[in-house]
Structure 1
Amino acid sequence: MQVIPVIDLLDGHVVRAVRGERSAYRPIQSRLAASSEPLAIAAALLEASGASTLYIADLGAILRHGAHASTLAAVRAALPGVELWLDAGFTDYASMRALFDRIDAHGDAHAPTAPQLATLVPIFGTESLRDIDALRASQADGLAPILSLDHRAGQLLTAAELDPSSAWWPSRVIAMTLDQVGSYAGPDLASFERIRSRAAAHTTVIGAGGIRNRDDMAAAARTGATAWLVASALHDRHIDATRSDSTPA
């Protein structure tokens, strides 16, 4: 099963998630890097996981405090060949396009002649999304959007009334259980399996939160998960790169 490392950005730092309770997030103290500086943490997580994908939650944008456009541009310029999954509280296609354009503009300052940049992939989370047509518009724009089904206490978090069917889901969906994020309480496999059972055959469901160690990864893999978002277990060196792509069933 693939490990997809995660960074949460707030006030210019990478912070440690605590059960999705964002007011409790503090600058990360990681065994992988000496600071909470975003680029250092991003590079360390990719090395520790052996991944070529990095999930970034821009909490400044999600909380409407201001997006980290310059930081995101710097990370994008420094990590060519990496796929950056960006969750920035997008409400619709226009809000996504506006931030992507700002990142592009800042990128001219960070790497005006860079031949390669990390690929940006928009994450549309149900806690923020107000227009499901954003997914279709993003696909038409040549992007490959991902839908995050955001849950807390077993309930789907929504910013607007959404189609309860899975007909509008894109080809990749994240089963996000915020209660498990940073909890070291184990992954919510029941919710993952419930969402996977609703998904169309062509839809890949990705798990998120709660992974503590290799045993948790093996249990998640047995549900049919091919990828899981992980942060704390990487920072604390409970998972290593030499085995991250070969979890036993």
Structure 2
Amino acid sequence: MTGSEPAMQLIPVLDLMNGLVVRGEGGRRESYRPIETPLADGAEPVAVARGLIGATGTDVMYVADLDAIMGGEAQVPVLQALGEAFPDLRFWVDAGFQTIDAAEALIAAVALGAGRIVPVFGTETLDETEALARMDGPAVLSLDFGAEGYRGSPALLEGAELWPADVVVMSLAAVGSSGGPDFQRLEEIVARAGTRRVHAAGGVRGRTDLDALAAMGVAGALVASALHNRRLGQVAP
């Protein structure tokens, strides 16, 4: 790593709706529109993913399947197309999983091979508070916070012993904003996480935020708008 690179894992985000990549703003999913970005011609997922990979050099992509999160069908063909286009990429997928069975069914349906689809269990949709302990393979927990506060079972927020190795602190109201990450909440979660890797999601504006997050022990950041807006510039190694 050189001094010009962010001292943490940078994970680009694809928000998928109706087969296209959309621009997330403030968690108001009903108002999301197909993305316009200098990283790709149009909002086709493979094209946008290629632009994000070129900008970051990542080997992990976060995919939010908003159709599934809002109660619709998972976008299996889109996930398959992404997997075939980028055979060396792993995908952290949030598809509104309510149960472990739902996550395992999606992994089987996409059929990309062992470990390439890592399910993200969001607390706003998860019904089984102990599902993560029963997952046969890696998993990510997303602690979801809206403008009104935490969304989900208090047992998952309070019970750090239930958390897997990777935890996302999802600040939905900050998505697509220029207000910055929720540093106070992230500090609180890092203090309780022990050896688990904590990842910030929502509000990252640029390198200054990445440096501040790294200094407080945050292991990674989920980023979309700062890349599309070129506030982070070219960060690929």
Same-fold call, TM cutoff 0.5: yes
Contact 1:181 1:208 (8 Å CA) reproduced? yes
Structure 2 counterparts to residues 80-119 of structure 1, below 5 A:
80-104=87-111, 119=116
Question: C-alpha distance in 1, partners of 2:73/2:56?
Answer: 29
Match of residue 112 from structure 1: none
Task: Say which of 124, 142, 148 aligns to 1:127.
Answer: 124
CA-CA distance at 1:117 after TM superposition: 8.4
Q: What is the TM-score with the length of structure 2 in the denominator?
A: 0.91
C-alpha RMSD of matched pairs (Å)? 1.7
SS of structure 2 residue aligned to 1:156: strand
CA-CA distance at 1:133 after TM superposition: 2.8
Is there any run of 5+ residues in structure 2 with no aligned partner, and where? 1-7
Deviations 1:39-82 (A, max 9, x none): 11111111111211100000010001211001101101111111
Is 1:156 matched up with 2:147?
no
Question: C-alpha distance in 1, partners of 2:185/2:23?
Answer: 23
Structure 2 counterparts to residues 46-195 of structure 1, below 5 A:
46-104=53-111, 119-138=116-135, 141=136, 143-153=137-147, 155-158=149-152, 160=153, 162-163=155-156, 164-195=158-189
Query: CA 1:118 to 1:98, structure 2 compared with 1: closer, same or farther past 3 Å?
Result: closer
Query: CA 1:161 to 1:206, structure 2 compared with 1: closer, same or farther past 3 Å?
Result: closer
Question: C-alpha distance in 2, partners of 1:98/1:165?
Answer: 27
Question: C-alpha distance in 1, partners of 2:122/2:223?
Answer: 17
Match of residue 220 from structure 2: 227
CA-CA distance at 1:162 after TM superposition: 2.9
CA-CA distance at 1:161 after TM superposition: 5.5
CA-CA distance at 1:154 after TM superposition: 5.9
Letter in 1 for 2:30: S
